[in-house]
Amino acid sequence: MRLLKRAAAIGIASLMVLSMAACGSGAKETTAAATEATTAAESNTTAESTAEAVKEAVGGDMSDKKVGISIYKFDDNFMTLYRTELQRYLVDELGFKKENVVVQDGKNDQAEQTNQIQNFITQKYDVLILNLVQSSSAPEVTEMCKEAGIPVVYINREPTVEEEQRWKDESIKATYVGCDARQSGTYQGEQILETSNKGDINGDGVVSYIMVQGDPENVDAQYRTEFSIKALTDAGVEVKELLKQRGDWDQAKAQQIVQDALTQYGDQIEVVFCNNDAMALGALQSIEAAGRKVNEDIYLVGVDALTEAVQNVLDGKMTGTVFNDHLSQAQSAADMAAAFVLGEDVENVNMVDYVKVTKDNAQEVLDKLK
């Protein structure tokens, strides 16, 4: 009877995995039309259902399985939240032993991280969860894992579409769990469109902005940069880029970039777009130091929904942010890893929706984060 129950649960888990992947692929194609309230509810419901099915299927069998996790760097604010939830969920919800869940710091050095991955392989870990320093290294890393017979779950930094398709075509046990960065960029642009003057503070018919990028080689930075502006131009808004500069996701670097930009361009700057919240927090420091006031004579948007950033939205110190749902992503990544360990087939791409954060829903998001 227990075997029948376990087999049924595994089947349900597999169907849930496929269902979530299908929803994610659809979101990728219909980004602009996504509704944050609906998609968030669907993502959370699916993640919870999948978790229940996986836990039922596991039946305690994960206790002797080893998970190797490498994070691109530990001092990234967002990835700190992500890995904390990932560890908790693997142990508390899926039944892995704490000592068998090993998390290492890639130190933003691909050579260092590759060495960590090789050590995981040598020590015969059952599954790997990897936040790559360089997403371009995915083909090489995938081949290493494939030869060792170890499945891999990539998170946060998406490999190319061609690489993801190769996993499917060659039946490679690899998957990506993340969010479609085009959606986050679109939401940033929409937040500016939703202001009373659609970002045109000085009324000259043009939205003049600066863009603080993360790593321009990173697909999230590329898409957030492109689609935030595309949302404006698609709505018929004329724009003018005063500055686009690399901030490497770093608060201090962003603070300096925005300080220099405000000195150079002054009141010409109407909108500051930041590819993540850490940089938005740095931008806010410079904006306030220059005597400017967000939502009155300048707009500021970020991505990630760090607790401090969401509080700033609530207090009117930021125009908006976008919830990069680390909770659902971490749980989904853990579920995919568990499914691999169980020998289940997993879709090659599994997407979780972003949620637009404005003053109207900031408290709700803040409560969830706490």
Highest mean pLDDT among 8-12, 38-42, 51-55, 154-158: 154-158
Which whole-number Å values give the CA distances from 122 to 113, 118, 144, 232, in the listed order? 14, 6, 11, 50
Same structural domain, 208 and 141: no
The CA distance from 83 to 85, in Å, is 5
pLDDT digits (tens, 9 = 90+) for 91-110: 999 999 999 999 999 999 99
Let me know if residue 79 belongs to a domain.
yes
pLDDT of residue 40: 40
**pLDDT above 70: residue 161:** yes
205: left (phi over 0), alpha (psi -120 to 50) or beta: left
Same structural domain, 209 and 168: no
Q: What is the DSSP letter of 16?
A: H
The CA distance from 343 to 73, in Å, is 30
Cβ neighbours of 146 (radius 10 Å): 17
Same structural domain, 159 and 20: yes
pLDDT of residue 1: 29
**pLDDT above 80: residue 29:** no
Token representation of residue 168? 């499917």
pLDDT of residue 38: 39
Same structural domain, 162 and 190: no
pLDDT digits (tens, 9 = 90+) for 313-359: 999 999 999 999 999 999 999 999 999 999 999 999 999 999 999 99
Same structural domain, 145 and 40: yes
Higher pLDDT, 239 or 53: 239
Token representation of residue 174? 């690899």
**Amino acid letter, 41:** A
For the chain, percent of residues with pLDDT exceeding 90: 81
**pLDDT above 70: residue 298:** yes
Same structural domain, 53 and 126: yes
Mean pLDDT of 117-135: 97
The CA distance from 233 to 237, in Å, is 5
Using 50, 70 and 90 to split pLDDT, how confident is the model at 53?
A: low
**Backbone CA torsion sign across 270, 218, 302, 182:** positive
pTM over 0.95: no
pLDDT of residue 52: 55
pLDDT of residue 218: 87
- Count of alpha carbons within 13 angstroms of residue 175, beta-carbon side: 29
The mean pLDDT of the chain is 87
Let me know if residue 55 belongs to a domain.
yes
Let me know if residue 360 belongs to a domain.
no
Same structural domain, 49 and 144: yes
Polymer length of the chain: 370
Place of tokens 């993540």: 276
SS3 249: coil
Same structural domain, 203 and 144: no
pLDDT of residue 116: 98
Same structural domain, 45 and 162: yes
**pLDDT above 90: residue 88:** yes
Let me know if residue 39 belongs to a domain.
yes
Same structural domain, 70 and 94: yes
The CA distance from 338 to 54, in Å, is 7
Same structural domain, 28 and 99: yes
- Tell me the DSSP string of 264-313: HHGGG--EEEESSHHHHHHHHHHHHHTT--BTTTBEEE-SB--HHHHHHH
Using 50, 70 and 90 to split pLDDT, how confident is the model at 370?
A: confident
pLDDT digits (tens, 9 = 90+) for 182-238: 999 999 999 999 999 999 999 999 999 999 999 998 889 999 999 999 999 999 999
Number of domains in the chain: 2
Cβ neighbours of 124 (radius 10 Å): 11
The CA distance from 367 to 358, in Å, is 14
Token representation of residue 335? 């579920």
Supply the range of the domain harboring residue 156: 2-179+325-352
Using 50, 70 and 90 to split pLDDT, how confident is the model at 154?
A: very high
- The domain that contains 113 carries what CATH number? 3.40.50.2300
pLDDT of residue 61: 76
Same structural domain, 25 and 161: yes
The CA distance from 177 to 61, in Å, is 23
pLDDT of residue 89: 98
